[in-house]
Amino acid sequence: MHFTINGEVIEIEADIRTSLLDLMRNSLGLLGTKKGCDQGACGACTVLVDGERINSCLALAVQYQGRSITTVEGLATDGNLHPLQKAFIEHDGFQCGYCTPGQLCSAIGMASEIERNIPSAVTSDLSASATAIDDTEIRERMSGNLCRCGAYNGIVEAITETLAHQPVVATEKRARA
């Protein structure tokens, strides 16, 4: 199988039944992406595929050949943390950190969805040219990412600040270049 992960072209032999999560963790040593439930319920395994967030535990690796995959290891550039990573630190957006890689990738994917004006289940004005972002929108859009430590307030604060001040999506694209 062949992939581009965090900008690196990878050729690897693997069982055709291998999930993308298991391939990354067990075969490629990319341990940043976490396995929580292994059934699509917790979001710990979230990665970006061509900028879209997916649960890698539900994805067969073979289906993602030729795609550009970004994991938490690919978010920093030249030793500098992604602005969202810095914001998580500043706002205490984690405790044990187990959910954090998935939260970060999910939030970056979410920023792309907002940029494309994709509504959520709580978006009130579907005719607006831009989605109004508030706590309710962010909590709904991030509801697939559970945090057993309950760091939700810090996570929402970090995302809110980053969305307001940084080109979240553009930065992620640079990380994948």
- Distance between CA 78 and CA 86 in Å, rounded? 15
Provide CB contacts within 8 A for 174, sequence distance 6+: 77
* Shortest Å distance, C-beta 108 to ligand FES: 17
Residues that bind ligand FES (CB under 6 A): 35-38, 40-45, 55, 57, 94-100, 147-149, 151
The CB-of-151 to ligand FES minimum distance in angstroms stands at 5
Least distance between ligand FES and beta carbon 177 (Å): 27
Write out the two tokens for 55: 């649960």
* Residue number, 17 or 116, with CB nearest to ligand FES: 17
- Per-residue DSSP letter, 56: G
In the structure encoding, which two tokens stand for residue 105, read together? 């990738």
For residue 67, the minimal CB distance to ligand FES (Å) is: 18
Tell me if residue 39 falls in helix, strand or coil. coil
**SS3 state at 54:** strand
Judged by CB, which is closer to ligand FES: 34, or 82?
Answer: 34
Closer of 117 and 143 to ligand FES (Cβ): 143
Are 45 and 34 in contact by the 8 Å Cβ rule? The answer is: yes
Q: Is the CB of 62 or the CB of 149 nearer to ligand FES?
A: 149
